[in-house]
């Protein structure tokens, strides 16, 4: 077999290396130039993104002085009115700066500022009209409409921010993660400032928070927690800047450690009883509002960090271009030496690196070879292998976190959003762990009487409030031996575990009596309701829950047919109550046998 002499081989290799060096130098130089251009383009788009986020923040900040002014008499709100006027001026100036930035780009054809300004003008007029009224005439519903109107402005502005963010990502896709984190923090700040808007009108009036406002605030709370759950991993594994780490810890300790639980507890407390004075409501606002500022500061830090990085890249690329040229010359000089070093200190170790990377990718045990050469680049590769292994371990941790998130989503899929009770799917999941031998189980199906009339007469909003009030009664009665769930529509399921069937009968009759005396305060006015119940009893373990609920459903149908607002027993339950003393005297007028 013909082989070239070693010298010829080295010479040919040197020529090839020289040519390759020139090519590599030109490619590297082109890469630096591209990086410089990309940094310049991303800096321009980041400046527009900063203007958009500043305008979004100004719109959000306008909400608080407005809410404070709504709680003060027109003649006594000079300071708050001046603060509101200043906030509106800040919003207008921020929007003008953003509009001027948009007009200089192709984005001007896809951003409808006329609609936004018209909507903002209308909402401000509505707010001013309400502020002109005496405090006693500012109904809670009107204040909520004004607060939600201002929130709708923020929601309308979200697509504007998203479009500028997309332009940043198109300019430099490496910024996608941090831009999305900045957007997430902006959404978190908007939701955090919106949370008190739903409940403060009632607190200022020293009234119990309306159920509809409580439910809306709960949805906002869930959004805040969901945003934090999604963003916390990105914040923890993001840039290692000390200022960002401090801001992250400040959000965790100040907002989620103080402000958020403080307001949630206040909402839970005053959804059941009113405040003693409006000064207490003002105190809640003063304590909570400052805790949202760390979120805004961290969002601004992310935006500033990206802009500073783009500026630094522009500066560094000029140095890199000089460095690339110098390195190309140096490579030409060192080619002869590199040819000799190439195999012994680079190629052979690289083959070892390749084998170890393949083993790592295939999750096979890795045999780590020690590198004894003096080439720093190869040493760096071996260090990179260690980093790759560490990243692989981090990826496994992230997979476990995703599994936890999937479990949270599963829990949400088993919960009814309106009533916060388990839905039908969640009910049967819980019943799998609920059943056990040696005890009686009673399935109760309850149905609100004439619920369609409630919806048709008072509207579906009032109907939802009736359902929420009904489910609130059930939640208070739920415990380790009682499961309550929304079975579908206005129908609810209750499963009791007890030694005696009489306990289930007493439970159902007490619940029916409590509902009969309940007056539901809705947005359409007070509504009285009654409910019918069907009971089916079986000694554990239960062979088929579906069958037991079918029997209870038949009993419920009989209760409806018998005139409603009563408890109906299945034949098996009647048999369990065969003793003369089994039926309580208070229930006999309402209970009939199926």
Instruction: Report which of 463, 563, 476, 566 is spatially closest to residue 520, judged by C-alpha positions.
Output: 463
Radius of gyration of the chain (CA): 34
Instruction: Report which of 259, 262, 265 is spatially closest to residue 293, judged by C-alpha positions.
Output: 259
Alpha helices by DSSP H, listed for 342-417, are: 348-361, 376-413
Per-residue pLDDT tens digits of the chain, which is 594 residues long:
445 554 466 567 667 767 777 787 778 778 778 777 777 888 888 888 889 899 988 888 888 888 777 777 776 667 778 888 898 899 999 999 988 888 888 888 788 888 888 888 888 888 888 888 887 777 777 877 888 888 888 888 888 888 888 888 888 888 888 888 888 888 888 888 888 877 777 666 666 777 877 788 888 888 888 888 877 666 655 556 787 778 888 888 988 888 888 888 877 877 776 666 555 667 777 888 888 888 888 888 888 888 887 788 778 877 877 777 777 777 766 765 665 666 666 666 766 777 777 776 766 766 666 667 776 777 777 777 777 777 777 777 887 888 788 778 777 788 888 998 999 998 888 888 886 655 788 999 999 999 999 999 999 999 999 999 999 999 999 888 899 999 988 999 999 988 788 888 999 999 999 999 999 999 989 999 999 999 998 877 787 899 999 999 999 999 999 999 999 988 767 766 665 444 443 443 344 443
- Count of alpha carbons within 13 Å of 332, Cβ hemisphere only? 9
d(CA 14, CA 331) in angstroms, rounded, equals 11
Neighbour order of strands in the sheet with 440-448 = 482-488, 491-498, 440-448, 531-539, 567-569, 591-593
pTM above 0.85, yes or no: no
Q: What is the pLDDT of residue 341?
A: 63
Q: What is the pLDDT of residue 422?
A: 93
The β-bridge partners of 535 are: 444, 569
- Count of alpha carbons within 13 Å of 158, Cβ hemisphere only? 15
3-state secondary structure 91-105: HHHHHHHHHHHHHCC
In this structure, the strands spanning 591-593 and 567-569 are parallel
Instruction: Report which of 302, 281, 291 is spatially closest to residue 201, judged by C-alpha positions.
Output: 281
Backbone angles phi, psi at 88, to 5 degrees: -65, -40
d(CA 302, CA 175) in angstroms, rounded, equals 11
d(CA 422, CA 425) in angstroms, rounded, equals 8
| Helix (H), strand (E) at residue 204 | helix 200-204
CA geometry: angle at 68 spanning 62 and 70, to 5°? 100
With tokens 């009686």, the residue in question is 440
Q: Angle formed by the axes of helices 6-61 and 78-103, to 10°?
A: 140
Q: What is the pLDDT of residue 407?
A: 77
Instruction: Report which of 522, 451, 421 is spatially closest to residue 212, judged by C-alpha positions.
Output: 522
Q: Are 560 and 450 in contact (CB under 8 A)?
A: no
In this structure, the strands spanning 567-569 and 531-539 are parallel
- Which letter, b or e, does each residue of 339-364 get, where b requires 16 or more Cβ atoms within 10 Å of its Cβ? beebeebbeebbebbeebeeeeeeee
Instruction: Report which of 224, 200, 222, 223 is spatially closest to residue 210, judged by C-alpha positions.
Output: 200
Q: What is the pLDDT of residue 593?
A: 40
Structure tokens at 404: 């936890």
Structure tokens at 412: 């949400």
Q: Are 103 and 320 in contact (CB under 8 A)?
A: no
d(CA 449, CA 103) in angstroms, rounded, equals 60
The β-bridge partners of 591 are: 567
Q: What is the pLDDT of residue 575?
A: 67
Structure tokens at 154: 């923020």
Using DSSP's 3-state secondary structure scheme, residue 419 falls into coil
DSSP state, residue 362: T
Alpha carbon distances (Å) from 566 to 159, 472, 490: 53, 20, 16
Q: Are 545 and 560 in contact (CB under 8 A)?
A: no
Q: What is the pLDDT of residue 349?
A: 72
Q: Are 482 and 544 in contact (CB under 8 A)?
A: no
d(CA 258, CA 288) in angstroms, rounded, equals 8
Q: Are 211 and 468 in contact (CB under 8 A)?
A: yes
3-state secondary structure 444-513: EEEEECCHHHHHHHHCHHHHHHHHHHHHHHHHHHCECCEEEEEEECCEEEEEEEECCHHHHHHHHHHHHH
Alpha carbon distances (Å) from 546 to 430, 466, 508, 552: 14, 27, 20, 10
Question: Chain centroid to CA 184: how far?
Answer: 9
Using DSSP's 3-state secondary structure scheme, residue 269 falls into helix
CA geometry: angle at 152 spanning 149 and 158, to 5°? 160
The β-bridge partners of 539 are: 440
Q: How many CB atoms lie within 10 A of CB 493?
A: 25
3-state secondary structure 546-580: HHHHHHHHHHHHHHHHCCCCCEEECHHHHHHCCCC
Q: What is the pLDDT of residue 141?
A: 77
Q: How many CB atoms lie within 10 A of CB 433?
A: 7
Q: What is the pLDDT of residue 65?
A: 83
Q: How many CB atoms lie within 10 A of CB 29?
A: 15
d(CA 244, CA 250) in angstroms, rounded, equals 10
With tokens 């201002």, the residue in question is 150
DSSP code string of 11-26: HHHHHHHHHHHHHHHH
Q: What is the pLDDT of residue 233?
A: 64
């Amino acid at each position: 077999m013909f082989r070239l002499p070693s010298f010829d081989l080295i010479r040919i290799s040197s020529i090839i290396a020289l040519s390759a060096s020139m090519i590599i130098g030109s490619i590297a130089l082109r890469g630096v130039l591209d990086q410089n251009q990309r940094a310049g383009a991303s800096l321009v788009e980041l400046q527009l993104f900063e203007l958009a986020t500043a305008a979004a923040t100004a719109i959000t900040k306008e909400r608080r002085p407005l809410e404070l002014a709504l709680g003060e008499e027109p003649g006594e709100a000079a300071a708050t009115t001046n603060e509101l006027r200043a906030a509106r001026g800040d919003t207008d100036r921020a929007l003008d700066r953003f509009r001027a930035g948009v007009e200089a780009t192709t984005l001007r054809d896809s951003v409808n500022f006329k609609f936004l300004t018209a909507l903002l003008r209308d909402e401000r007029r509505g707010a001013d009209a309400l502020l002109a009224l005496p405090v006693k005439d500012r109904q809670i519903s009107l204040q909520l409409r004004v607060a939600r109107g201002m929130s709708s402005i923020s929601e309308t502005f979200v697509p504007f921010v998203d479009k500028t963010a997309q332009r940043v990502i198109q300019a430099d896709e490496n910024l996608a993660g941090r831009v999305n984190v900045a957007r997430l923090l902006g959404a978190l700040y908007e939701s955090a400032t919106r949370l008190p808007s739903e409940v403060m009108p009632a607190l200022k009036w020293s009234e119990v928070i309306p159920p509809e406002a409580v439910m809306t605030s709960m949805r906002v709370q869930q959004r805040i927690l969901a945003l934090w759950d999604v963003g916390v991993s990105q914040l923890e594994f993001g840039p290692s800047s000390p200022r960002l780490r401090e801001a992250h810890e400040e959000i965790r300790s100040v907002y989620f450690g103080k402000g958020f639980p403080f307001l949630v507890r206040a909402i839970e407390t005053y959804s059941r009883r009113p405040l003693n004075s409006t000064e207490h409501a003002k105190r809640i606002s003063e304590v909570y509002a400052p805790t949202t500022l760390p979120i805004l500061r961290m969002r601004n830090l992310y935006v500033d960090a990206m802009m500073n990085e783009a500026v630094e890249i522009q500066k560094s690329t000029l140095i890199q271009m000089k460095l690339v040229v110098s390195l190309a010359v140096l490579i030409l000089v060192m080619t002869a030496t590199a040819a000799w070093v190439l195999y012994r200190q680079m190629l052979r170790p690289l083959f070892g690196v390749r084998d170890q990377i393949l083993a790592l990718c295939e999750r096979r045990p890795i045999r780590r070879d020690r590198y004894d050469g003096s080439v720093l680049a190869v040493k760096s590769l071996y260090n990179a292998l260690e980093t790759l292994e560490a990243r692989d371990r981090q990826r496994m941790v992230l997979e476990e976190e995703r599994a936890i998130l999937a479990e949270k989503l599963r829990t949400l899929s088993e919960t009814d959003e309106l009533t916060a009770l388990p839905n039908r799917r969640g009910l049967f999941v819980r019943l799998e762990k609920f059943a056990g031998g040696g005890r009686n189980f009673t399935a109760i199906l309850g149905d609100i009487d004439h619920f369609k009339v409630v919806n048709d007469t008072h509207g579906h909003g009032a109907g939802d409030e009736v359902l929420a009030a009904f489910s609130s009664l059930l939640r208070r009665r739920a415990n380790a031996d009682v499961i309550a769930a929304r079975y579908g529509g206005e129908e609810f399921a209750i499963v009791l575990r007890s030694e005696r069937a009489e306990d289930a009968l007493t439970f159902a009759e007490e619940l029916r009596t409590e509902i009969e005396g309940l007056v539901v305060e809705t947005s359409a006015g007070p509504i009285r309701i009654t409910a019918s119940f069907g009971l089916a009893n079986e000694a554990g373990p239960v062979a088929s829950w579906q069958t037991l609920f079918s029997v209870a459903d038949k009993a419920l149908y009989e209760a409806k047919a018998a005139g409603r607002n009563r408890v109906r027993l299945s034949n098996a339950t009647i048999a369990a109550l065969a003793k003369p003393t089994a039926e309580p005297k208070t229930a006999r007028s309402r209970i009939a046998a199926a």
